[in-house]
Amino acid sequence: MELSNSTRSYEDFSYDYNYTDELVTMCEVDDYKLTTAVCYAVVFCLSILGNGFLIFALTCYEDLKRATNLFMFCLALFDLLFTLTLPFWCVEFLHHWVFGDVACKIMIGAYFVGIYGSLILLTAMTFDRFVVVVVRSYWLTRSRRLKCSKAACVGAWIISLIACLRDSLASKAQIDHVDIYACKSTNTEDDTVGYYSQLILLFLIPFAIIVFCYTKIILTLMSTSTRQKHRTVILVLCIVIAFFICWGPYHIVIVLMSIYEFDACVHYHLHVAFVVCRILAFSHCCMNPALYILRGKYRNLLSSFLFCSPELRHSGPYRGPTDPSDSRIHPYMTEEALENCGVRRTNATELVTL
C-alpha cells in the first residue's frame, strides 16, 4: 500500500534501445498523466458534492443516534478526507510537487487514513448487520448498538492514524528528475514486507471477515419470511462490494508489479492496467453517496434541491425508529412490546414502522 512506490515509481517511462545496426527502436510509454489528472479532478468534484450532500442529509433529515446512520456519517468523513488529497496529486501529475515536505507528509497520511478508515468501518458495519440479522441478541438494544457503533468509529480513526504513521513520516519531496520534485517515501528497506503486512492486516483479513458475515446473513435471510424488510443489509452489502470492486484490482496489479521485474516496455499492458485500476480505486470516494442516494427518500430530497422545490426540505428532520431488522423485534412479541420498539403489526407476519 505504498503510495509513493505504487504511484510514482512507474510514472515516467521513456526508454531508447539502440542496436549496433542503423535501425533505432524507440520505446516511449505514455504515462497518462494528463488523463489521470483530469479523472482525479472529476472524481474530486463528484465526491465533494456527493459526500457533502450525504453529510447534510444525515445531519438534518436523519437520526445520528441510529447505528447505521452514524456509520454512514463517519464513512462520508473518511471519503471527504481522501478526496481532499486529489487536487494535490493533480498538481503533481500536471507539473510537479510544489508543496514541500510538510504537505507531502500530511497528504500521504490523509490518503492512507481515508483508505484504512473506510475499510475498518465497512467491516464494523458488516459485523453490526451480522449481529442484528444472524445473532439477534436481546442484549443488543438500540442504545447498546449505538455505543458499539461509536466505539467502532473512534477505533477506526485511531487504528487508521496509527497505520498511516510509517508511510507519512517516511515521505518527503524528492527530486525525481532534473528540477522535478515528487512526493515519495524515503523508506527503501523492508518496503515489500511492510506493504504485504498492511495488505494482509488491513485488506485481506477484513475481506475474509466480511465474506463470512455476509454468507451467514444471506443464508439467514433466505430462511426467513421477512427477508424483504432488510433493506439496510442490501445497502451495506452494495457499499462493501463497491469498495472491493474499486480497490481489489488496484492491489492485484501492485502485487503483479512486485512479482515481475517491471519494465513498462515489456509489460506495457500491465502499466496501462495499473493506470486504469488506480483511477478506479481513487473514484471509490464518490461511490458511497451514489449508493445511498438510490434510496427513495434521498432521491426525492436531491430532486427538491436540484429543482428548487422547498416542500421536502422544510418537512423537518426524520426521526424514525430503529429499522425492522432490529434485534429486539421478534415475530412473537406482544403488541405492547412492539410499540415500545416503534413498530406495529398489520397481520401475522408483517411489521410496519410507526
Q: What is the pLDDT of residues 216-228, one digit of tens each?
A: 988 888 876 554 4
pLDDT tier at 230, thresholds 50, 70, 90: low
338 has pLDDT over 50 = no
Q: How far apart are CA 76 and CA 62, in angstroms?
A: 14
Give 125 or 24, the one with higher predicted confidence. 125
Q: How far apart are CA 210 and CA 70, in angstroms?
A: 19
Residue among 271, 286, 291 at smallest CA distance from 41: 286
DSSP state of 286: G
Instruction: Report the greatest alpha carbon distance in the chain.
Output: 93
pLDDT at 326 (0 to 100): 44
CA dihedral sign of residues 129, 135, 138, 140: negative
Per the prediction, the chain carries an average pLDDT of 76
- Domain boundary assignment for the chain: 3-320, 322-354
Give 96 or 17, the one with higher predicted confidence. 96
C-alpha separations of 224 from 57, 218, 239, 341 in Å: 32, 10, 23, 20
pLDDT tier at 264, thresholds 50, 70, 90: low
CA dihedral sign of residues 151, 123, 281, 41: negative
pTM across the whole model: 0.77
Q: How far apart are CA 92 and CA 111, in angstroms?
A: 15
Q: How far apart are CA 327 and CA 67, in angstroms?
A: 13
Full DSSP string of 106-151: HHHHHHHHHHHHHHHHHHHHHHHHHIIIII--TT--HHHHHHHHHH
Window from 5-9, 169-173, 216-220 with minimum mean pLDDT: 5-9
Window from 155-159, 184-188, 233-237, 240-244 with minimum mean pLDDT: 184-188
Q: Which amino acid is at 225?
A: S
Mean pLDDT of 316-326: 44
Topology annotation, domain 3-320: Rhopdopsin 7-helix transmembrane proteins (1.20.1070)
Mean pLDDT of 112-116: 92
% of residues, the chain, pLDDT over 90: 30
290 has pLDDT over 60 = yes
Give 57 or 331, the one with higher predicted confidence. 57
302 has pLDDT over 70 = no
Full DSSP string of 244-274: HHHHHHHHHHHHHHHHTT--TTTTHHHHHHH
231 has pLDDT over 80 = no
Q: How far apart are CA 329 and CA 289, in angstroms?
A: 29
Q: How far apart are CA 306 and CA 51, in angstroms?
A: 16
Mean pLDDT of 202-230: 80
Q: How far apart are CA 124 and CA 179, in angstroms?
A: 45
269 has pLDDT over 90 = no
Q: How far apart are CA 152 and CA 158, in angstroms?
A: 10
pLDDT at 89 (0 to 100): 93
Residues with Cβ within 8 Å of residue 187, at least 6 apart in sequence: 2, 166, 167, 170, 194
**Which of 10-19, 94-103, 256-265, 339-348 has the highest average model confidence (pLDDT)?**
94-103
65 has pLDDT over 60 = yes
Q: Which amino acid is at 343?
A: V
Q: Report the run of H or E that residue 17 belongs to, with start and end.
A: strand 14-18
188 has pLDDT over 80 = no
Backbone φ, ψ for residue 46 (5° rounding): -65, -40
pLDDT at 6 (0 to 100): 45
